[in-house]
Amino acid sequence: MAALTPHPDRLLPADPGVRSLARRLYETVRDLPIVSPHGHVDARLLRDDEPFADPASLLLQPDHYVTRLLHAGGVPPAALGVGRGPLPASASRAAWRLLCEHWHQLRGTPVRYWLTSTLADVFGITSQPSASNADELYDRIAAQLALPSHRPRALFERFGISFLATTDDPADDLSAHRALRGSLPVVPTFRPDRYLEVGRPGWTSYVKELGGDPGDYAGFIASLEARRRFFVSQGAVSADHGHLDAGTEPLDRVDAERIYRAAIGGTVTAGEATAFRRHMIFEMARMSCDDGLVMTIHPGIYRNHHPATLESFGPDTGHDIPVSLEYTRALQPLLSRFGTAPGFHLVLFTVDATVYSREIAPLAGFYPAVYAGAPWWFLDNPSEIRNYQRAVTETAGFSRMSGFIDDTRAFCSIPARHDMSRRLDAGFLASLVAEHRLDEEEAAETLTDLVVTQPRKVFKIC
């Protein structure tokens, strides 16, 4: 049976001399605390601190990185429990068997890397999953999940997480976060996407959830501002935005009011809805200048690409697909107004790798407000992270990077993802030392900054 023992030099450069440098650099940050300013772990998980139900509900069901790859190989999402809560014991074990039987489908992917690290480092698994050992692994992991050492809060401490941001609906009462205040460094993130897309089905019903009086445009703006202030009062440091494009063209007040009335009346056109959403992203930047929330943007995703999967299993189930993206013209209205505003921070993420060198790095290399977000979703793999490192630093420098973000619902993969980033950053900095572009002391200082200092600075984490 194949071993599952992560190599101590994994992801470090192949050249022996550079690898030796990278190893020394990596050792300086290996055990530093994790700063996670952009993620999707549910705060209720940590508030309740209940034992995880079973291996499948922890490691398989919530991770669309995993389920989408298995689906591509012919495994039905229903068999994996996609879109469902904890499964009955027999169904959970069956889903786990499917993962183990199809382990070979993950070869060469970052998913394989994260799962390998998680199984080895968190659960002490030393054999690769397969059809023959699926039940044995399931039982070993399940036995550990029943122990106090593997409950959510214990793992939070074990992982060395010093800051964790969740992603939350503006109408959420944040009761789970209030319960955690003072015990764990977990904060909410303001995510208003569904309230800004006025053409979506159901918008007229759920906009009422914001509170206040959103019956007209002025009331809508006031409601959003009030909810943002509430999030700030509960520790939030950022507002997160993910739409199809990065447009930020503001509307005249009269046009904004007219389109909002049409949306309330259910007569808004697709073109009007797009124009209003772009206007509202501009407004979100204005609000960030007022309330201090860091603004993060990650456009360029065609959400729910497969209607049948959406209908059966819901959103965020693995069928969101990237599209090409343009930033320079799209952000010009926003940046012309707010790009030099004191205290405004705008972090730009992308799933279009061509954008790093062509647009994001040049924007971050001029505007004080702009930072280049770490490779995110589909790009959070070794090859694209290495491309990002060179594309951004050679145009804007290390000080314009966001620091790593893990962007995950898969709680146990957080340390594996951050460790991957630290290894890749160590390798890149080692190459600069080997090329005599930095000395080793500078490289070590820069690596520490990328791991701890930079994300805290960019996301205004006290």
pLDDT the model gives residue 367: 98
Only one residue has tokens 């023992």, namely 5
* pTM passes above 0.75: yes
Domain-located, residue 157 = no
- 359 — pLDDT class (breaks 50, 70, 90): very high
Q: Give the residue among 199, 197, 198, 177 at the shortest CA–CA distance from 189.
A: 177
Average of pLDDT values for 34-46? 97
Q: Considering the chain, what percentage of its residues have pLDDT values greater than 70?
A: 100
- The enclosing domain of 289 has a CATH number of 3.20.20.140
- State the total domains in the chain: 2
Q: Considering the chain, what percentage of its residues have pLDDT values greater than 90?
A: 94
Q: Please indicate, yes or no, whether residues 92 and 194 belong to a single structural domain of this protein.
A: no
Helices (H) and strands (E) in the chain, counts: 23, 9
Average of pLDDT values for 364-377? 97
- pLDDT at residue 214 above 80? yes
Q: Please indicate, yes or no, whether residues 245 and 126 belong to a single structural domain of this protein.
A: no
Q: Please indicate, yes or no, whether residues 109 and 197 belong to a single structural domain of this protein.
A: no
Domain-located, residue 21 = no
Mean pLDDT of the chain: 96
Token pair recorded at residue 156: 């939070």
Q: Going by DSSP bridges, is the β-strand pair 301-302/321-322 parallel, antiparallel, or unpaired? A: antiparallel
Average of pLDDT values for 332-349? 98
Owning domain of residue 82: 51-147
Token pair recorded at residue 388: 């990002």
pLDDT tens string 176-203? 999 999 999 999 999 999 999 999 999 9
- pLDDT at residue 32 above 90? yes
- The enclosing domain of 95 has a CATH number of 1.10.2020.10
Q: Please indicate, yes or no, whether residues 257 and 389 belong to a single structural domain of this protein.
A: yes
Domain-located, residue 269 = yes
pLDDT the model gives residue 85: 83
- 316 — pLDDT class (breaks 50, 70, 90): confident
pLDDT tens string 68-119? 999 999 999 999 999 888 899 999 999 999 999 999 999 999 999 999 999 9
Q: Going by DSSP bridges, is the β-strand pair 161-165/34-36 parallel, antiparallel, or unpaired? A: parallel
* Euclidean distance between CA atoms 177 and 190, whole angstroms: 13
Q: Please indicate, yes or no, whether residues 131 and 261 belong to a single structural domain of this protein.
A: no
* Euclidean distance between CA atoms 225 and 233, whole angstroms: 12
Q: Please indicate, yes or no, whether residues 454 and 319 belong to a single structural domain of this protein.
A: yes
Q: Please indicate, yes or no, whether residues 238 and 380 belong to a single structural domain of this protein.
A: yes
Q: Please indicate, yes or no, whether residues 216 and 287 belong to a single structural domain of this protein.
A: yes
- pLDDT at residue 1 above 80? no
Domain end point (choices 122, 147, 172): 147
CA 271 from chain center: how many Å?
29
- pLDDT at residue 52 above 80? yes
- pLDDT at residue 2 above 90? no
pLDDT the model gives residue 86: 86
* Euclidean distance between CA atoms 284 and 292, whole angstroms: 11
pLDDT tens string 394-406? 999 999 999 999 9
Q: Please indicate, yes or no, whether residues 267 and 398 belong to a single structural domain of this protein.
A: yes
Q: Give the residue among 453, 437, 335 at the shortest CA–CA distance from 401.
A: 453
pLDDT tens string 405-454? 999 999 999 999 999 999 999 999 999 999 999 999 999 999 999 999 99
Domain-located, residue 164 = no
> Residues, the chain, total?
462
pLDDT tens string 128-146? 999 999 999 999 999 999 9
pLDDT tens string 225-235? 999 999 999 99
3-class DSSP assignment, residue 418? helix
